[in-house]
Amino acid sequence: MARKWALRSILAYLLLGLFLYVYLFFLADSTLPETYKGSSADPATFMNNKEILLSEDFSKIKNLLFFLSTPYEWLFYFLILIFGVSRVFEKWARGTVKNGFLQTAIFLFWLSISSFVAIFPLQYISYKISKSYHISTQTFSMWMKDEITDFWVNYLLMFIIVSVLYALMKRFKQRWWLAAWALSVPFTIFMMFVQPVLIDPLYNDFYPLKDKALEEQILSLADRADIPADHVFEVDMSEKTNSLNAYVTGVGSNSRIVLWDTTLEKLTDKEILFVMAHEMAHYVEKHIYIGIGIYLVLSFFGLFLTAKLMRGIVANHSDDLKVSKVSNLSSLPLFLMITSMLLFTISPLSNWISRYQETRADRYAIEMTGDKESAISSFQKLSKVGLSQVNPPLLVKIFRYGHPTMLERLSMLEEYEAEKKKE
């Protein structure tokens, strides 16, 4: 039975991969509508022919990898369940130590190592593609260092989460999901608070912005936006990527304004001020707190559904999955598979909300700076340097884009200018 289900699941995954390949490389339409030909949104106005071709090829490959990676994760969890690997990990843990927390640590270590090894080929392919298209500038050793750091950070966080989660499952057999949801609220806020000062520095070096004249202009914008910031931080990303980015991170006293050094190198001061005004808009319009509120609602229903599905699946397929009880550690792959599926299912909604907030931030930035030319040129450079499609296919936009497409962002600026002329 296990072999039959394994073959079926692998075949389903391969058929999905074939469909996605045909869709992305042959059926999906990413051509620019005639209306926008010759406008600021037309790639031909800010890219040469080679760059346009590279952006199309790179985007198709990265989109394919994105759509393959999540179902691949589901396949991995399913296979280690039906072949009894998860149950073996649990037996090893129980046979090694008697302490429950140490059993969790051992079980999670073997599960994490297995997951790392299984997913590593896709991660490596993604790295090599980014490297070949000159997006990534990392050496293999630097990339591996980040991968290993990522492994241990995720392992420690997962150890905390899984230890608490399965303790709740044992204590509250029917309502564990409600207790888990209640505890997730302060934990999420705490993680947002410590992320800038404890986790981010593990990956990159942060230091005060060297250009003090530019820092003064950015802080002046922050003052106008009532953002309590005394410094702007620069992060050394040029050793890892050619991409551009800037952001406002953290909550409360740990809020930080951060610029990648690649952004400082490739954008003018006026373009940087527009980008920073956009990031400040998220603070001004309380998008972080709105995001927390949305998370609370979605996680409430998500955990409820996860508990209901786990209970039903284990009750009806315990022999097939080699899991006798929901509260057994061996059920963790089932929990992770279900939550991953639910997150993927609601990603169109969460991405739509994010795109709406990003559009609001774009509009706020243009109103604050009044500099349409710098806004347009900054978006064009972001698209050019990142080799991103100006008008991605609909399926890609729905599932991948937390920001408006470059076509939408640039056309919004044109429409804004037309509105101002009418006033």
Catalytic residues: 279
DSSP states along 289-309: HHHHHHHHHHHHHHHHHHHHH
Q: Can you list the positions of beta strands (E) in 147-252?
A: 206-208, 232-235, 246-249
CA-to-CA distance for 421 and 423, rounded, in angstroms? 6
Find, among 412, 415, 409, 394, the residue nearest to 31 by Cα. Answer: 394
Using CB atoms within 10 A of its CB, is residue 338 exposed (0-12), middle (13-18) or buried (19+)? Answer: buried
DSSP states along 51-86: HHHHHHHHHHHHHHHHHHHHHHHHHHHHHHHHTTHH
Helix/strand/coil percent split, the chain, to 5: 75, 5, 20
In sequence order, what are the residues at sequence separation of 6 or more whose Cβ sits closer than 8 angstroms to the Cβ of residue 302? 339, 342, 343, 346
In sequence order, what are the residues at sequence separation of 6 or more whose Cβ sits closer than 8 angstroms to the Cβ of residue 148? none
**At 206, phi and psi to the nearest 5?**
-110, 140
In sequence order, what are the residues at sequence separation of 6 or more whose Cβ sits closer than 8 angstroms to the Cβ of residue 371? 270, 273, 274
| Cβ–Cβ < 8 Å for 277, 368 | yes
Helix or strand or coil: residue 31?
A: coil
Token couple for 4: 């039959």
